[in-house]
C-alpha cells in the first residue's frame, strides 16, 4: 500500500486489505515523514511498514514494494482508497486465467454527496464499475515476471508512471479491463476541496504526460467541452440507487472540469520548460529487479 505523510486514511485502507479472502501479502510504503508503523500499531494493525523521510513519487514507492515483497502477483492501493471484499479474489481469478495484468474499476465512497460525484465523474469517467466494456484498465495488478522482463516503474514522474510502464508491454500482456475488481476512492466532499483537487489533478496530468508524450494536449476550451460531455455521458452508467445524487452533481460538473482544464493549462506550460526524458528510462533493461527467491509465498501482494 502507498502512503504519503503517514496519512490516517491508511488505517482503513490496510483493514480492507487484511479482510481479503484469500489472504494477501500486505506491505505499507510510507514516504514524506511521519510514523506510519506507530499509527497502524495503535489501531492494532500488525503489518510490515517501510518508512522514507523524503517524499517519493509513486513510481519509486511502487518499486520499493516490488523489491520487498515475494508474492507472484503485485497490486497497489493508495491510502485514499479502499479494497472491496472480492478485490483480490477477482484479480487472482483473472491472473489464474492467463492474464498478466488486470485493471480495476473505481467506485465513489461518498455516494450521497453530489460534490464527490462531480469529482468522480470528472476525474474517473472511464472507470465506472457499470462499464462492461471500454473501461480504462488502470489500477492494475501485475504478474511479477513482467518487472523482471520489462523493468521497474519510472521514478521521476509525478504521475503517469503506470501509463509509461504499460506502454512498454506487448499487447498480449497489457492490463485488461475487469470491472468486478472494484476499488473505492475517497473523493472530496465540499466545493472548495473539489475545485482544489480538480485543479491539482489537471496540472499534474499535463506535467506528467508532457514528459513522455507529445506537447499540445487539448486542455483549453475544447478540452473543457469534451471533458464535461464525457462526464455527463458517464453519469448514465451509475447504479440506479445513486442517480438522485448524480443528478444533483450535474450542475457542478462544468465547474469541476473548468478547474481541471485551468490546472492542465498551467501544467502544460510547466512541462514545456522541462528537459528531455532521461535516456536511462528509455532502456527498461537497466531497471530490471532481481527475481524473487520464493514466488509462492502468498497468492497476491498489495503494497
Which residues are CB-contacts of 291 (< 8 A; sequence separation ≥ 6)? 148
286: in domain: no
- pLDDT-derived band at 300, boundaries 50, 70, 90: low
290: in domain: no
CA 145 to each of CA 26, 43, 127, 168, 274: distance values in angstroms, whole numbers, following the listed order: 19, 35, 26, 14, 33
Give the integer Cα–Cα distance in Å for 29 and 48: 9
Q: What is the pLDDT of residue 281?
A: 41
* 23-62 residue pLDDT tens: 999 999 999 999 999 999 999 999 999 999 999 999 999 9
103: in domain: yes
112: enclosing H helix or E strand:
none
pTM confidence score: 0.86
Q: What is the pLDDT of residue 105?
A: 97
* 90-144 residue pLDDT tens: 999 999 999 999 999 999 999 999 999 999 999 999 999 999 877 899 999 999 9
Say if CB 140 and CB 102 are below 8 A apart.
Answer: yes
Q: What is the pLDDT of residue 269?
A: 78
Give the integer Cα–Cα distance in Å for 32 and 57: 10
162: in domain: yes
190: in domain: yes
160: region left, alpha or beta (phi > 0 left; psi from -120 to 50 alpha): left
216: region left, alpha or beta (phi > 0 left; psi from -120 to 50 alpha): left
CA 84 to each of CA 29, 61, 66, 108, 293: distance values in angstroms, whole numbers, following the listed order: 20, 23, 22, 12, 30
Residue 123 belongs to domain spanning: 2-275
Residue in the structure block whose three cell numbers are 486514511:
9
209: in domain: yes
Number of structural domains (the chain) is 1
189: in domain: yes
CATH for 110: 3.90.550.10
Give the integer Cα–Cα distance in Å for 64 and 51: 10
Q: What is the pLDDT of residue 214?
A: 40
299: in domain: no
Amino acid at each position: 500500500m502507498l502512503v504519503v505523510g503517514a496519512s490516517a486514511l491508511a488505517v482503513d485502507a490496510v483493514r480492507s486489505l487484511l479482510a481479503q479472502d484469500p489472504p494477501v501479502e500486505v506491505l505499507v510504503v510510507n514516504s514524506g515523514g511521519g510514523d506510519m508503523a506507530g499509527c497502524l500499531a495503535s489501531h492494532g494493525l500488525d503489518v510490515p511498514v517501510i518508512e522514507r523521510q523524503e517524499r517519493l513519487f509513486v513510481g519509486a514507492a511502487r518499486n520499493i514494494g516490488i523489491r520487498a515483497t515475494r508474492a507472484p502477483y503485485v497490486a497497489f492501493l493508495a491510502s485514499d482508497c479502499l479494497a472491496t471484499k472480492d478485490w483480490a479474489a477477482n484479480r487472482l481469478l483473472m491472473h489464474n486465467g492467463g492474464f498478466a495484468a488486470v485493471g480495476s474499476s473505481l467506485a465513489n465512497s461518498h455516494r450521497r454527496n453530489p460534490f464527490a460525484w462531480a469529482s468522480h465523474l470528472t476525474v474517473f469517467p472511464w472507470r465506472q464499475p457499470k462499464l462492461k466494456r471500454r473501461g480504462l484498465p488502470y489500477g492494475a495488478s501485475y504478474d511479477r515476471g513482467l518487472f523482471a522482463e520489462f523493468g521497474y516503474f519510472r521514478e521521476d514522474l509525478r504521475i503517469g508512471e503506470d501509463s509509461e510502464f504499460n506502454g512498454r508491454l506487448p499487447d498480449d500482456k497489457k492490463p485488461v479491463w475487469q470491472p468486478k475488481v472494484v476499488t473505492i476512492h475517497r473523493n472530496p466532499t465540499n466545493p472548495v476541496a473539489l475545485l482544489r483537487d480538480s485543479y491539482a489533478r489537471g496540472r499534474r496530468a499535463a506535467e506528467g504526460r508532457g514528459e513522455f508524450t507529445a506537447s499540445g494536449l487539448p486542455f483549453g476550451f475544447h478540452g473543457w467541452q469534451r471533458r464535461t460531455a464525457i462526464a455527463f455521458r458517464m453519469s448514465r452508467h451509475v447504479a440506479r440507487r445513486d442517480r438522485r445524487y448524480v443528478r444533483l452533481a450535474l450542475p457542478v460538473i462544468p465547474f469541476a472540469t473548468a478547474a481541471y482544464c485551468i490546472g492542465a493549462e498551467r501544467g502544460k506550460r510547466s512541462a514545456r520548460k522541462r528537459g528531455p526524458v532521461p535516456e536511462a528510462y528509455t532502456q527498461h533493461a537497466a531497471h530490471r529487479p532481481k527475481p524473487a527467491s520464493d514466488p509462492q509465498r502468498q497468492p497476491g501482494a498489495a503494497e
